[in-house]
Amino acid sequence: MGNQSPEPIVQPDSDRLKSLRIPLRIDGQIIGLIIFLAVIMIVMSFASEHFLTYINLLNILQQAAFVMILAFGMTFVLSTGGIDLSVGSIVGISGGMTAWLLYHDVNMVMAVIGGMIVGTAVGIVNGLVITKLGISPFIATLAMMIIARGVLYVWTGAIPIREYMSSSFTFLGQGRILNIQFPVIVAALLLLILLFVYRRMRFGRHVLALGSSEEAVRISGIKVDRLRIKVYALSGLIAAIAGILLASRLTTVHPEMGKNYELEAIAAAIIGGTSLAGGKGSLVGTALGAIILFMIKNAMNLLNVHPYWETIVVGVIILVAVTVNIWGGSARIRLGSRKALKEVKQS
């Protein structure tokens, strides 16, 4: 929308289908990420013959899918200026819930719904603690991260949950449609749905506004607390989806499942251009960020780089991405104020 020229004011009549259309904003940020991806791919295709194969690329997507899904929820949270550190633990606890229900011969649909309810409930508690107790999102979700993980340990007695797999549940994590792994398809569908929510629905607009200026949102008569609780609930629900898929993928729910995923999700969102300060976010960028993260891991694997190096490289990439972001952003604002100055001079 930002690039669309404002005149003429009226565009030809839009029908219902058209309003379902999701505005794909291709800005400098996205182009930068695509160029970065392309560079990695070109370099790697020379460096390793195994890289640029259909199977390997699909594998990267499959590996990225779980963190990507988490990062979508994180993008909403970060857009409000908040943060959700508990998503990794939610992955564990809701995946655990679904596995436990399946183990006790509960119908698969009910088990999946059960897992999603647990994730959403944890998210709602996060939201309540943040809004009603006035605790900062960082601390509230840090505490929840530790508590939820602890609950999982106590509940399972630190013994992994096994022997819950059924053929239909196997499909969630390991099945394929048109030879594409199901988690990748879920990630893609979620991207489309959430893009619509983020850009075309009031909720998404309010989320961005909240991160930009809470005061503005309050004055506009929006119930800020309720909005914030919804955002953390959404993040919890999305984390639960990732957890359930992962439970199917791994066939065992270890009490450590999902540990540190919150940091990878935050990294993916930040590489994708979402600002920690709020008011600015991009789901497409987040998806690309997750792919970049896992493509680099894959590349280093293929090049036989010691895994210890991986974290160093990922850290450096986060720094570079954020630096480019800040510099790009400030250049734009400088441009804006210069233009404003010119207008003042002319008038």
Partner 1 sequence: MTVEEDQVLLSLSGITKRFPGVLALENVSLDVRKGEVLALVGENGAGKSTLIKILSGLYSKDSGEIRVRGKAVDINGTKEAQALGISTIFQEPSLAPHLSAVQNVYLGRELVKSVVGKAVRAMNEKEMYLETARLYQKFFPSVEDLHRPVGELDALKNRVIEIVKALSVDCSVVIMDEPTAALAEHEREVLFDFIRLLKAQGVSIIYVSHHLRELFLLADRITVMRDGKNVATVNKEDTNIDHLVSMMVGREISNHIVKEKVPLGKVVLEVSDLNRRGVLKDINFHVKQGEIVGIAGLAGSGRTETVRAVVGADPIHSGKVVVDGRPRRIRSPRDAIQAGIGLLPENRKLHGALIELTVSQNITVASIKRILGQRFVLKKRKETLIAEDYVKRLGIKTPHVNQKVRFLSGGNQQKVILAKWLFTQPKVLIFDEPTQGIDVGAKVEVYNLIAEFVRDGGAVLMVSSELPELMGLSDRIYVMHKGRFVCEFSREEATEENIMMYASGGHE
Which residues here bind partner 1, judged by CB under 8 A?
1-2, 4, 6-7, 9-11, 14, 16, 19-20, 196, 200-202, 205-206, 208-209, 211-213, 215-217, 219-222, 279-280, 332-333, 336-337, 340-341, 343-345, 347
Q: Quote the CA–CA distance of 281 and 94 in Å, as a whole number.
A: 27
| Amino acid at site 321 | A
Q: How far is the CB of 29 from partner 1 (least distance, A)?
A: 14
Q: How far is the CB of 340 from partner 1 (least distance, A)?
A: 4
3 state SS of 136: coil
Q: How far is the CB of 323 from partner 1 (least distance, A)?
A: 20
> In angstroms, what is the C-alpha Rg of the chain?
21
Burial (0-12, 13-18, 19+ Cβ within 10 Å), 104: exposed
Q: How far is the CB of 104 from partner 1 (least distance, A)?
A: 34
Nearer to partner 1, 87 or 227 (CB): 227
Number of helical H runs and strand E runs in the chain: 14, 2
Nearer to partner 1, 110 or 331 (CB): 331
Q: How far is the CB of 13 from partner 1 (least distance, A)?
A: 9
| Amino acid at site 85 | L
Nearer to partner 1, 25 or 259 (CB): 25
Q: Are 96 and 248 in contact (CB under 8 A)?
A: no
Nearer to partner 1, 19 or 167 (CB): 19
| Amino acid at site 302 | L
- Structure tokens given for 148: 């939820």
Percentages helix, strand, coil for the chain, rounded to the nearest 5?
75, 0, 25
Q: How far is the CB of 80 from partner 1 (least distance, A)?
A: 12
Q: How far is the CB of 158 from partner 1 (least distance, A)?
A: 43
Q: How far is the CB of 198 from partner 1 (least distance, A)?
A: 11
Nearer to partner 1, 139 or 340 (CB): 340
Q: How far is the CB of 1 from partner 1 (least distance, A)?
A: 7
3 state SS of 161: strand
User: 145-157 as b/e, with b when 16 or more CB fall inside 10 Å?
Assistant: beebbebbeeebe
Nearer to partner 1, 55 or 333 (CB): 333
Q: Quote the CA–CA distance of 10 and 239 in Å, as a whole number.
A: 41
Nearer to partner 1, 45 or 220 (CB): 220
Nearer to partner 1, 176 or 205 (CB): 205
Number of other residues whose CB lies within 10 A of the CB of residue 197: 17
Among residues 285, 283, 305, 286, the alpha carbon closest in space to that of 296 is found at 305
Nearer to partner 1, 171 or 196 (CB): 196
User: 226-264 as b/e, with b when 16 or more CB fall inside 10 Å?
Assistant: ebbbbbbbbbbbbbbbbbbbbbbbbeebbbebbeebbeb
Q: Quote the CA–CA distance of 46 and 247 in Å, as a whole number.
A: 36
| Amino acid at site 134 | G
